[in-house]
Amino acid sequence: MGGVLCCCTQPVDFDGEVDLYHFDLLRAVGKGAFGKVRVVEHKRTKKLYALKYIDKAKCIKQKAVANIIQERRLLEEIDHPFIVNLRYAFQDDANCFFVLDLMLGGDLRFHLERLGRIPQDIVRFWTAELSSAIAYLHKQRIVHRDLKPDNILLDSMGHVHITDFNVAIHYSERRLHTSVAGSMAYMAPEVIGQKGYTWCVDWWSLGIVAWELVFHKRPFDGRTADKMKHSITRDPLKPPAKADELLCVEGQDFITRLLDRNAKTRLGCRGRTRGMEDIRGHLWFASIDWVSLDAKDMQPPFVPDISRANFDVSHELDEFLMVEKPLTHSKRKANQDLEKMKPELRQLEEQFSVYDFTKNRRMSYYPHNQPIVTTGHEADADAEPQEVVPSATNTLLPTATVVEHSQGGSPIEGHDYSGRDTPIHMPSGPHEEPSPPEPIPPEHSQPHVS
């Protein structure tokens, strides 16, 4: 029988297309807008993963089908040591499934709330790893747009990983984006002002994250949306009392230069590749061996205690008390007629395609752009930008004006996130469909399973 494992319920064909029957369902560890996240074990390899499942009905009701497809496509393009990578994708009649690297260390919000603030040597290490991941994404022409402590997960060793690509997009190299997307407290001024932005917004968000981790408060805040917008776009950057005791001069300089409202002079924004040289060459990172760091050979200064849960254990209780229907294996209806399906269901069937990292080459869905018009970032930092045409994006956009709780995209979350920063997405222009995918060389890295 070779690849077939027989059990008392359903024989599993491991040589066939991946589906939920390839996995044993273990504990629930997170909750999002459209479904839950749980630990699963691959029945043949015995490797543990995080399974994020998206309820199709809820997804359609909240007009987020394009979001889910966009996230599915972007994740197929990505494979990096400091990103929560996609390993499998598939669907059944009720759900779409992402099988991702398992992170047992919890998210940075969880640890920030537990510890109060994070010592600067830990923040420096995490920031270096995050910088490596951000530079990689930008090289792939991807801007995350929702970098915050909630979307940064630790593995069992203490390495950070970016997750939740729910509002991430391919940025255009010939048009600035104007759609408002992300979580307001972490948005760059050029996003809030809707004057046009590109990949530089992720470096601003990293600055907010680093500041919040060190000082346990954000540099710009407000009780209302208007006050927060004003603070982000106008208020001076003021270090808190006793800042010198918490963060060295070099660290303060690094974060301050990330929080430059002028995207052309912001640290990391001299170009997609040259900007990273400025990051690596900063004095705050003088102790970082970047080759060892990228190889995950540096010892993290903080190792999470995985003997206790680094997430909210109440997610399992919901199923135990039958508050919601638990996830179960279910066979697909045979011979479904796509022509008779509702348009949104058909779109999911056709575009949320199966992916298996052991069998499939990673594909790029990046649109074939016209000759680029520089926005001033890729060229000299002091050069004036050329005229550009503002555009919402050149990839799929959600049709909803608000995307609820992008935490649903996180492989492991600490809470149900009521009261947390809710990501916003307000598209400002027409959708532009991606061009047909083109293959890129296969990746050879192994899953980063904790």
In a domain, 2, yes or no: no
268: left (phi over 0), alpha (psi -120 to 50) or beta: left
Statement to judge: residues 299 and 313 lie in one domain = no
Statement to judge: residues 96 and 117 lie in one domain = no
Q: Give residue 415's pLDDT.
A: 29
In a domain, 446, yes or no: no
Among the ranges given (15-24, 98-107, 290-299, 338-347), the one the predictor scored with the smallest mean pLDDT = 338-347
Statement to judge: residues 121 and 68 lie in one domain = no
Statement to judge: residues 152 and 268 lie in one domain = yes
Run of H or E residues at 39? strand 36-42
In a domain, 50, yes or no: yes
Q: Determine the Cα angle at 32 with ends 30 and 37, to 5°.
A: 35
Q: Give residue 28's pLDDT.
A: 83
24-39, pLDDT tens digit by residue?
A: 999 888 776 667 889 9
Among 325, 348, 364, the domain-final residue is: 364
Range of the domain at 187: 108-307+369-436
Among 324, 347, 364, the domain-final residue is: 364
Statement to judge: residues 387 and 430 lie in one domain = yes
In a domain, 381, yes or no: yes
Residue 217 known to bind ligand: no
Query: Residue 306: CA atoms inside 13 Å, Cβ hemisphere, count?
Result: 13
Average pLDDT over residues 327-332: 72
Q: Give residue 11's pLDDT.
A: 80
What's the number of domains the chain is made of? 2
E strand intervals along 242-322: none
Could you tell me the sign of the dihedral formed by the alpha carbons of 105, 107, 113, 117, in that order?
positive
Report whether pLDDT(96) > 80.
Answer: yes
146 is an active site residue = yes
Run of H or E residues at 438? strand 438-439
149-187, pLDDT tens digit by residue?
A: 999 999 999 999 999 998 999 998 788 999 998 999 999
**What does the alpha-carbon distance between residue 100 and residue 232 come to, in Å, rounded to a whole number?**
34
Report whether pLDDT(59) > 50.
Answer: yes
Among the ranges given (43-52, 60-69, 82-91, 403-412), the one the predictor scored with the smallest mean pLDDT = 403-412
Whether the Cβ atoms of residue 78 and residue 60 lie closer than 8 Å to each other: no
Q: Which residues contact 361 (CB under 8 A, 6 or more apart)?
A: 439, 440, 441, 442
Average pLDDT over the chain reads 79
In a domain, 4, yes or no: no
Q: Give residue 356's pLDDT.
A: 95
Chain Cα centroid distance, residue 23: 24
**What does the alpha-carbon distance between residue 322 and residue 315 come to, in Å, rounded to a whole number?**
11
Whether the Cβ atoms of residue 106 and residue 311 lie closer than 8 Å to each other: yes
Q: Give residue 237's pLDDT.
A: 96
Whether the Cβ atoms of residue 90 and residue 138 lie closer than 8 Å to each other: no
Q: What are phi and psi of 73, to 5 degrees?
A: -70, -45
Among 364, 392, 407, the domain-final residue is: 364
Q: Which pLDDT band, with edges at 50, 70 and 90, does 132 fall under?
A: very high
In a domain, 405, yes or no: yes
Statement to judge: residues 172 and 219 lie in one domain = yes
Give the active site residue among 55, 146, 164, 260.
146
Q: Give residue 282's pLDDT.
A: 97
Statement to judge: residues 303 and 314 lie in one domain = no
Q: Is 439 helix (H, G, I), strand (E, B) or coil?
A: strand
Q: Is 336 helix (H, G, I), strand (E, B) or coil?
A: coil
* CATH number where 337 lies: 3.30.200.20
Statement to judge: residues 143 and 183 lie in one domain = yes
372-382, pLDDT tens digit by residue?
A: 233 333 333 33
* CATH number where 139 lies: 1.10.510.10
Q: Which pLDDT band, with edges at 50, 70 and 90, does 331 fall under?
A: confident
Whether the Cβ atoms of residue 197 and residue 177 lie closer than 8 Å to each other: yes
Average pLDDT over residues 300-307: 91
In a domain, 417, yes or no: yes
User: Percent of the chain having pLDDT more than 90?
Assistant: 55
Report whether pLDDT(9) > 70.
Answer: no
Statement to judge: residues 245 and 387 lie in one domain = yes
Among the ranges given (71-75, 152-156, 361-365), the one the predictor scored with the smallest mean pLDDT = 361-365
**What does the alpha-carbon distance between residue 146 and residue 67 come to, in Å, rounded to a whole number?**
14
Statement to judge: residues 45 and 140 lie in one domain = no
324 versus 120: which is more confidently predicted? 120
Q: Which pLDDT band, with edges at 50, 70 and 90, does 291 fall under?
A: very high
DSSP character at residue 263: T
Statement to judge: residues 273 and 355 lie in one domain = no
**What does the alpha-carbon distance between residue 198 and residue 210 come to, in Å, rounded to a whole number?**
21
* Closest to 103 in 3D by CA, of 39, 150, 31, 32: 39
Q: Which pLDDT band, with edges at 50, 70 and 90, does 430 fall under?
A: very low
Beta bridge pairs of residue 5: 12
**What does the alpha-carbon distance between residue 428 and residue 181 come to, in Å, rounded to a whole number?**
11
pTM more than 0.95? no
Whether the Cβ atoms of residue 436 and residue 351 lie closer than 8 Å to each other: no
Q: Which pLDDT band, with edges at 50, 70 and 90, does 446 fall under?
A: very low
Statement to judge: residues 298 and 407 lie in one domain = yes
CB atoms < 10 A from the CB of 157, how many?
A: 16
312 versus 124: which is more confidently predicted? 124
